Each structure stands twice: as C-alpha cells, then as structure tokens.
Amino acid sequence: MKRNVKLYLRNKILSDKAIHMSLIDPAKTDPIHAQKIAIEVEAAGSSAIMIGGSVGVSESMVDNIILSIKKKCNLPIILFPGNPSALSRYADAVWFLSVLNSSNPYFITGGQAQGAPIVKAYNIEPLSLGYIILGKGGAVSYISQTRPIPFNKPELAVAYALAAQYMGFEFIYLEGGSGGDPIPPEIIRCVKNNISVPLIVGGGIRTPSLAYEAVYAGADIIVTGTVIEETKDVKEHISEIISAMKKAAREREARISRDEPL
C-alpha cells in the first residue's frame, strides 16, 4: 500500500521546520548509481527523493530508476516530470505542477490534461504544485518556454505565489534552474511572508551556507540535484547541508518566537 505522501511531508515540516529532498535525473543517472545515491541521501537525513529531468527522460527510464531505488531505500519517491511520458506507476506521488509563468499554455494546463488520466490510472498520489521559474532559469526555462522572473523583481514572485495559493495549489516551488544561481534570500523572505502553504526552493543550492540562507529566509523544503551529481561523497555533503538547514530552522523559529522580523 502506498503511503500518504502529502500528510508525510506536512508532518515532517511541522516537526523539523525545514526538510531536504534529493533530485535524481534519469537522463544523467543509471539505476545502479541512483540506488547508491538513494542509500546515501537517506542515511544523510534527506526526507524524500524526487525523480525527473527536463529532457531525455522516458517512462521506462523512470521505472527502472524507481524499482532500483526501492530495493534499498525506504524514502518516498516523488515524480518531478518534465512531460507526461516521464510518469511511472511505481512512484509514491507526483508533483502535479503548472509552470505558472510559462508563455505556452501547454506547460500551464495542456500537458497536465494529458497526464491526469495516467496519474489516475496508475494510482499515483498527486501533489498540486505552483511552479515559478526565476533568474536565468536554466534548461527548464528554455524547455518550458518561460519568462523567468528577474531577481530584482520580488514583487512579481510574490504576485505569482499568491495567485498559485488562491487557485488552490498546495505547494509553491521557486526554481532558479539546474546549475544556475540560487534564489536570493530576500525573494524567499518576501514570498514566505505572503503565503500560508509550504514553500519549496531549488536551483543552485550547492553549499551548506546557501541552504542555511534559504531556510532562514523561509524555505520549508530545499531541493538539491546538481550537487548530488558533482560530489564524490554524497552522504557527507548532504549531511552538511541538512545540518545547516536545521541550524537555520532553529534560529528562524527563535526569532519568530521573539516577534523579531527575519
């Protein structure tokens, strides 16, 4: 029986204040390597594994990655699909996302309409996600035909995030793009101060200090992907990132309890 991933995430955020997710790209990682990564990130304290990539990902690739990971890892596996062909019946959940600032309706509702019957047929738990791309945006911005929100326009990020919440999205994701610059803390802070749903931040978070800044500014979930592909000791590096996140969460909660502005 599949677990209730949404409830799991909410409870983890409630208890830990901020949680980490590891992103594995099937186009860049074979099943055996993915399994090794999963074992290490679980040992390091990551709360879930996301599977997805912008280009070159098929359902069979995702199936093989997930089946390999599940042999050795107990973390929930959440799909992060770039298109409907990247859905897998073996996943625990899927980020059912809309690229809100895309200029192409396909990435806002079209692809979602194609994928929805598959999600239902495969009995994958949908996690509704408002996806907002900022900065340079990286490959995901190019593929999804997005106009990324400039880092010097936090009010636009707030406007899109509020729109996502008002339209009923249960999670909001601020994306800086794989291998790009991280979302500035001031943008994270502005968005978090204006919404009441969990805030996910990803893209460019390669070091413990960057993870600390993002969590202290208000991120509930940090996603790292590129650093997993580049580092030799995944467990050690992710452990350091999660340790920094926990410190930031404690300090953030302490300031909030004292009614001090972040």
pLDDT at position 257: 82
* Of 206, 234, 235, the residue nearest 222 (C-alpha): 206
Q: Angle 234-257/31-44 helices, nearest 10 degrees? A: 40
pLDDT at position 150: 96
- The dihedral of CA 210, 212, 215, 218: what is its sign? negative
Q: Which of 83-87, 88-92, 121-125, 226-230 has the lowest mean pLDDT?
A: 226-230
The values of phi and psi at residue 141, to 5°, are -70, -40
pLDDT at position 1: 63
Kindly tell me if the per-residue pLDDT of 54 is higher than 80. no
- Distant-in-sequence, close-in-space partners of 194: CB < 8 Å, separation ≥ 6: 158, 161, 162
C-alpha dihedral, 173 to 174 to 178 to 179, nearest 10° = -150
Contact 20, 50 (CB under 8 A): no
Kindly tell me if the per-residue pLDDT of 245 is higher than 70. yes
What are the structure tokens assigned to 197, written together? 């749903």
Tokens 């399994």 correspond to 35
pLDDT at position 262: 67
The values of phi and psi at residue 100, to 5°, are -65, -30
Which one-letter amino acid corresponds to residue 86? Answer: A
Domains of the chain: 5-257 (3.20.20.390)
Kindly tell me if the per-residue pLDDT of 261 is higher than 80. no
pLDDT at position 235: 96
Cα distances (angstroms) measured from residue 110 to each of 74, 106, 149, 151: 33, 4, 22, 28
Length of the chain: 262
What are the structure tokens assigned to 112, written together? 């979602």
| DSSP H or E segment with residue 236 | helix 234-257
Kindly tell me if the per-residue pLDDT of 260 is higher than 80. no
DSSP string, 100-129: TTBSSGGGTTHHHHHHHHHHHHHTPEEEEE
Residue-wise pLDDT for 191-204, tens only, equals 999 999 999 999 99
In the chain, what percentage of residues exceed pLDDT 90? 86
What are the structure tokens assigned to 185, written together? 């803390």
Task: Give dist(CA 201, CA 252) in Å, integer.
Answer: 16
- For residue 50, list its beta bridge partners: 23, 78
Q: Which of 28-32, 54-58, 239-243, 250-254 has the lowest mean pLDDT?
A: 54-58
171-175 and 199-202 beta bridge pairing: parallel
The values of phi and psi at residue 242, to 5°, are -70, -35
Kindly tell me if the per-residue pLDDT of 148 is higher than 90. yes
pLDDT at position 131: 98
Mean pLDDT of 114-134: 98
Q: What is the mean pLDDT of the chain?
A: 95
Contact 85, 114 (CB under 8 A): no
Which one-letter amino acid corresponds to residue 216? Answer: Y
Cα distances (angstroms) measured from residue 251 to each of 23, 66, 216, 255: 26, 36, 7, 6
Contact 19, 12 (CB under 8 A): yes
Mean pLDDT of 129-157: 94
Kindly tell me if the per-residue pLDDT of 56 is higher than 80. yes
Mean pLDDT of 216-238: 93
